[in-house]
Amino acid sequence: MFPPVTDLIPHRPPFLFVDEIVAETADGLVAKRLFRADEDFYQGHYPGAPITPGVLLCEAVFQAGALYMARSMAGQGSRNGVPLLAKVSDVRFRNPVYPGETILIEVRKKEAIGGFTMMSGSVKSGEKRVLNVDFAVAWKIPEATPAT
């Protein structure tokens, strides 16, 4: 049994796009997310023919990468900083995701250099390939938050 994702990363609804971790290895992690038909973004993307925005599918991969990094830090997660996306490359969208679909998100560590972890990620819905992306993440302790 894996800990709740909210114990590991600082993301919270409505901007949390991973429901749970389902498997992990030393160099990767698999998570899943159900895209419910009542999610607000479907109201405008696209009315009458809703599909999940590609940028949110990418965000799900990035959050899964942050979960992998948090687990790699002995489960310390958000207590020791926040994940910061540093680079995105080679995004390939293959198929859309519709309301009601559950996706599997897989991330794999490629290498870590100078405080950055380079990863690859993919999304599947059933047997359907949805996307592939390469990205880099740094885990940073936030500086003081400016007063508002």
Respond yes or no: is residue 11 known to be catalytic: no
pTM of the model: 0.92
Whether the CB-CB separation of 103 and 97 falls below 8 Å is answered with: yes
Identify the pLDDT of residue 141. 83
> Model confidence over 137-146: pLDDT tens digits?
998 887 766 6
* CATH superfamily name and code, 5-140: Hotdog Thioesterase (3.10.129.10)
Residue 66 sits at φ, ψ, to 5 deg, of: -65, -40
Residue whose pair of structure tokens reads 């498997």 in the numeric block: 23
> Model confidence over 95-142: pLDDT tens digits?
999 999 999 999 999 999 998 999 999 999 999 999 999 999 998 887
Band (79; pLDDT cuts 50, 70, 90): low
Catalytic annotation, pick one of 2, 10, 45, 132? 45
Does pLDDT of 147 surpass 60?
yes
